[in-house]
Amino acid sequence: MPIHLHRVAVCLALLVTACDEAPTAGCTPGVSAACTCTDGRTGAQVCDSSGAFGACVCEADEDAGTPADAGPGDDAGMDADGGLDAGPPSPLRVFVSRLRYRATAAPTACQNAADAAGLGGTWVPWLSFRSSTGTRDALDEISSEGPWELVTGEQAFANRAQLGTVPSVPINIAEDASTVVDGIVWTGTLLGGTAADDTCEGWTENGAAFVATMGGTLGTDDWTDGGTLSCDDMFHVFCFEL
């Protein structure tokens, strides 16, 4: 074969080989590109080994395990109004103070006890206030909706409404998870969460001339209203996390 014809044949062979191996699609394998999800959010798609982009992957697909383009029947994780269902609220905690306090120290006992035990959170005492300057009910001091558990995990109150009745279990576990047996507790609060007549003059008096309504840790029926005792003694305090 003449030399110039041999060169032409070689060139044609190279062209045919190049055409056989060239990708037939319009993307480079491994390259990622933005795409639009069916709900309008931005996702990403990756070019596969054949040179074609794969399915558009959206954030909900990866993080929540729920297809972003779920149809009307795919309503798992949705509430009655069509929003995402957050599930039941996380439980808050309740304890009875391990230490006993003077009446005038009771209003600040809970946060101090919780901080010392490393519990974190914001804590308020179960105390009602009645004095010449006004009245505040213990139930009104609790702004959260619950539920509340002892620090050992047993549920004491399913919700805020139950605070006006009796706990499901005795509140006899302290902030350090120790048990307070038959402890007397300052409350100044009647069953129902309202202020009793006797609250050591709004927790400002430690003298024997004043009395306050007491609760206890032994049972549930008289947890907040078990009688009155003198304000010159020292008792425990019920503490609720907000």
Q: Return the closest-CA partner of residue 212 out of 128, 140, 141.
A: 128
**What's domain 92-241's architecture?**
Roll (3.10)
- Measured in whole angstroms, the distance separating CA 110 from the mean position of its chain's CA atoms is 20
Q: Which residue has the tokens 């974190």?
A: 120
Helix (H, G, I), strand (E, B) or coil at 16: helix
Q: CA triplet 231, 217, 155: central angle to 5 degrees?
A: 135
Return the biggest CA–CA distance within the chain.
Answer: 130
Say what the pLDDT of residue 78 is.
52
Confidence band for 49, pLDDT divided at 50, 70 and 90:
confident
If one counts every other C-beta atom within 10 angstroms of the C-beta of residue 63, the result is 8
Full-model pTM: 0.66
Q: Which amino acid is at 83?
A: G
Query: Which is higher by pLDDT, 234 or 26?
Result: 234
Domain boundaries in the chain?
A: 25-87, 92-241
32-41: pLDDT as tens digits: 778 877 777 7
User: Between the CA of residue 205 and those of 76, 108, 181, 196, what are the distances in Å?
Assistant: 57, 15, 26, 16
pLDDT at 107 over 90: yes
In 22-164, alpha helices (H): 59-63, 106-116, 138-141
pLDDT at 43 over 90: no
Q: Return the closest-CA partner of residue 199 out of 222, 229, 242, 172.
A: 229
| Contact between 111 and 123 (Cβ < 8 Å) | yes
Mean pLDDT to the nearest integer, 95-123: 98
Mean pLDDT to the nearest integer, 107-113: 98
Distance, CA of 94 to CA of 174 (rounded, Å): 9
What is the dihedral sign for C-alpha 204, 205, 211, 215? positive
Confidence band for 68, pLDDT divided at 50, 70 and 90:
very low
Distance, CA of 198 to CA of 55 (rounded, Å): 71
